[in-house]
């Protein structure tokens, strides 16, 4: 059972990195730092969008953007950190 929890914690950690990469990519794309007509850049952007949008869409319905500032990744990251702490502090020690 602990192995399953370890894998779940690892998946949550990897998804945290994907969320951060998606946020950084969106900033680079918005400020025209990356070439948007490059096929590789478009593919990376589409992959990051497809990985993060299903989790961010429900949060965006409840939290409106503030003058173009999207706070949904921050809310999702806080939720992931909360879930990780609950698993590590309360569930993991009680599993035999």
Domain boundaries, the chain: 2-94
| pLDDT for the residue 13 | 98
Quote the DSSP letter at residue 69: B
Interatomic CA distance for residues 64 and 57, integer angstroms = 11
Interatomic CA distance for residues 16 and 88, integer angstroms = 16
pTM of the predicted structure, to 2 decimals = 0.90
Token couple for 53: 């949008």
Q: What is the pLDDT of residues 39-96, one digit of tens each?
A: 999 999 999 999 999 999 999 999 887 888 889 999 999 999 999 999 999 999 999 7
| Helix 2-30 vs helix 72-86: crossing angle, to nearest 10 | 160
Beta bridge partners of 66: 69
Interatomic CA distance for residues 60 and 56, integer angstroms = 6
Q: What is the pLDDT of residues 9-23, one digit of tens each?
A: 999 999 999 999 999
């Amino acid at each position: 059972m602990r192995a399953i929890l370890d894998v779940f914690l690892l998946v949550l950690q990897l998804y945290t990195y994907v969320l951060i990469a998606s946020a950084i990519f969106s900033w680079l794309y918005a400020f025209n730092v990356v070439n948007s007509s490059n096929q590789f850049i478009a593919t990376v952007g589409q992959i990051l969008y497809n990985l993060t949008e299903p989790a961010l869409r429900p949060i965006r319905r409840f939290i409106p953007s503030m003058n173009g500032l999207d706070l949904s990744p921050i809310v999702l990251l806080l939720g992931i950190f909360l879930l990780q702490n609950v698993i590590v502090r309360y569930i993991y020690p009680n599993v035999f």
